Structure 1
Amino acid sequence: MSRHSDLHQFTRTALADGHPAEDIAAALAATGWSAGEIRDALGAWDIRPGLPPVPRRERTALTAGLALVEGLQLVALGMVVGHLVQLLLTLTDIFLPAAQPLSDWQLTSMRWPVAAIIVFLPLWLWSGWRTRPAPEQRRPALSVWIGHLTVFFAALTLLGDALAIIYRFLAGDMTAAFVVKAAAVALVAALVILAMQERRHD
């Protein structure tokens, strides 16, 4: 049996016997275990009244390779979301034109967002598959934080969108084009929140 297996078994037995986590940590520290090892050993168990220590799923280690893929996924998501919004707004201008006719630049401005989506959407899908943890593991804490921050900014976008709609309504300046554009922004923000659900609850 390895030393870490001994640590695992000792921690479980001590918790099952009702010893406080602070006393267990002090005993382990006195015998040479590092603070990180003690934290991981105690964090592997959940204490619930009337039950023996319940094992928690182990988190996936945040390696350099995984951090690289996580970064690529975040960049790809930003590129897809930004250019998707730009594409939807341009399509709105085409199908619901304002009083002024569209310029040649506006008519050709769809090329760049379409190209960006073609490039970065497969990257986002691949990186999402690549960073999916094994069934017996959880995502690294940093990955979960990124998911929460992404949802936070998407929620701010929804709030700002709602604020703009109410303001334009009160000002009597509500047009069909503006409503469609606001709905497009809200739809993309909602899709981002749905896409991050698994990452947030892991």
Structure 2
Amino acid sequence: MKPSEQLAAFVQDGLRAGHGPNALRKALLAEGWSSAEVTAALNGWSDQGLGVPVPRPQPQASGQEAVLYGLMFVALLTITYNLVQLGFDLIEAWLPDPLRGGHSFGNAGSMRWSIAVLIVALPVFLWLDRRAARGLVRDPGQRRTPLRQKFGALTLFLSTLALLGAAVAVVYAGLTGVVTAQFMAKVALVVVMALLVIAWFRDFLAEP
């Protein structure tokens, strides 16, 4: 029997015998179980005054959800990368770098490719996001699914890394004394994109 199964069985038997959650927690902690393990085991059961412990619903993952959130993650990466790339090309065209000399009109081929990708990927992402939202309306318990929470955590983690990278780039540019309007515009674009992603997906980590 796995340790988690041992804990679940102990909590079930303890509640059935009339012991309260606090007494069970104290006994488990005294035997060396971690606080997180004890909390998870106690959260799996509820006392509704029936004389027997009532199991709480546990998060479950399905193949359909794996495909849904996997495609959403790929679509999100594709959209953010190509939006930033397109923005960089436009910034280079509108704000030429005086340190390089001359006037840059951007990479027309790169911009056309980014636009083509966005025309395909953006509707797909919006459809997937809408599909996930409709699933929550039908079954609010889907908020507990580990895939949804992992997707949200990974998305917020990568967005935070982007913000930290932008901060490092600004500090480095300030130390070297090379801060141009083009550079600051690119940094601002990255920051705005990261904040938009965080605002969009913060709900994925919200408790049901």
Per the TM superposition, whether the score is higher than 0.5 is yes
Matches within 5 A, 1:170-185: 170-185=175-190
Partner Cα separation in structure 1 for residue 90 and residue 17 of structure 2: 61
CA 1:100–1:125: 2 relative to 1, 3 Å: same
What do residues 66-95 of structure 1 show as CA deviations (whole Å, max 9, x unaligned)? 211111101000000100100111110111
Q: Aligned AA for 2:65?
A: L
Q: Percent identity?
A: 36
TM-score, with normalisation over the residues of structure 1? 0.71
1:44/1:56 contact within 8 Å kept: yes
CA 1:142–1:168: 2 relative to 1, 3 Å: same
Task: Give the structure 2 partner of residue 135 of structure 1.
Answer: 140
1:168/1:174 contact within 8 Å kept: yes
2:143/2:204 contact within 8 Å kept: no
Partner Cα separation in structure 2 for residue 108 and residue 169 of structure 1: 32
Q: Aligned AA for 2:146?
A: A
Task: Give the structure 1 partner of residue 91 of structure 2.
Answer: 92
Structure 2 unaligned residues grouped into runs of 5+: 1-11, 28-39, 48-52
Structure 1 unaligned residues grouped into runs of 5+: 1-9, 24-39, 48-52
CA 1:17–1:158: 2 relative to 1, 3 Å: same
Task: Give the structure 2 partner of residue 146 of structure 1.
Answer: 151
Deviation (angstroms), 1:123? 1.4
* CA RMSD across the alignment: 3.2
Match for residue 101 of structure 1 among 100, 103, 107: 103
2:85/2:114 contact within 8 Å kept: yes
CA 1:112–1:15: 2 relative to 1, 3 Å: farther
What do residues 168-193 of structure 1 show as CA deviations (whole Å, max 9, x unaligned)? 11211100000000100111111111
Matches within 5 A, 1:9-24: 14=16, 18=20, 20=24
What do residues 144-164 of structure 1 show as CA deviations (whole Å, max 9, x unaligned)? 122112211111111111111
Partner Cα separation in structure 1 for residue 187 and residue 203 of structure 2: 26
Aligned residues: 171
Structure 1 runs of 4+ with >3 Å offset? 13-17, 40-47, 53-59
Deviation (angstroms), 1:17? 5.2
